[in-house]
Structure 1
Amino acid sequence: MHRLDALPWTTVLIICGTLGLAPFVPEPHIWQKLKMLFSGDLSQPIDMFDLLFHGLPWIVAGLKGIRALTRGQTS
């Protein structure tokens, strides 16, 4: 978990804002893939890979946030 601590928040947020939301038009891929997941239409391997690829920055941000809260860190 020390690797999460070594990642600066700025880097994590920039990656979430770019890779996590790209492409921006007509809607972010992560949003599109989440809608497909909840409607039961996520069946193609490329769609599953897209969900993982665009969701990974958000998972890292969540884990880093949980780690910071449990360790009492604010920066």
Structure 2
Amino acid sequence: MQFLDSLPLNILILASLTLGLAPFFPEPHIVEKLRMLAQGQLTKPIDIGDLLMHGAPWVLLLAKLARMALVKG
């Protein structure tokens, strides 16, 4: 938990909005990869790596927000 507490919230928000959504057009990569996952088409290692790379900032941001809510409340 110390690692999560040491991450600045503004950096996580910035990472989520840039790396987490890039490329922005025609659609964010994370949306495309989540759609592929839901359809069962996420089979190539490059696609799985893309999902992990573009999803990591979002997972860290959500974990940080949940941790802040639990510690505060």
The amino acid that maps onto 2:33 is K
Q: How far is 1:7 from its partner?
A: 1.4
Equivalenced residues, count? 73
- Uncovered stretches (5+) of structure 1, i.e. residues with no partner: none
Written as runs of structure 1 = structure 2, the 5 A alignment for 1:53-68 is 53-68=53-68
Q: TM-score, normalization: structure 1? A: 0.93
1:42 alignment partner, SS class: coil
Task: Give the distance between the partners of 1:63 and 1:53, measured in 2 at CA.
Answer: 16
Could you give the per-residue CA deviations for residues 31-53 of structure 1, whole angstroms, max 9, x where no partner exists? 00000000111010000000000
Query: Paired residue for 2:31?
Result: 31
Any idea what the Cα deviations from partners look like across 1:5-58, whole Å, max 9, x if unmatched? 111111110000000000001000000000000011101000000000000000
Q: Percent sequence identity over matched residues?
A: 48
Alignment of structure 1 residues 1-75 onto 2, 5 Å: 1-72=1-72
Q: Structure 2: give runs of 5+ residues left out of the alignment.
A: none
Moved over 2 A (4+): none
CA distance in 1, matches of 2:54, 2:16: 8
TM-score between both structures, scaled by the size of structure 2: 0.95
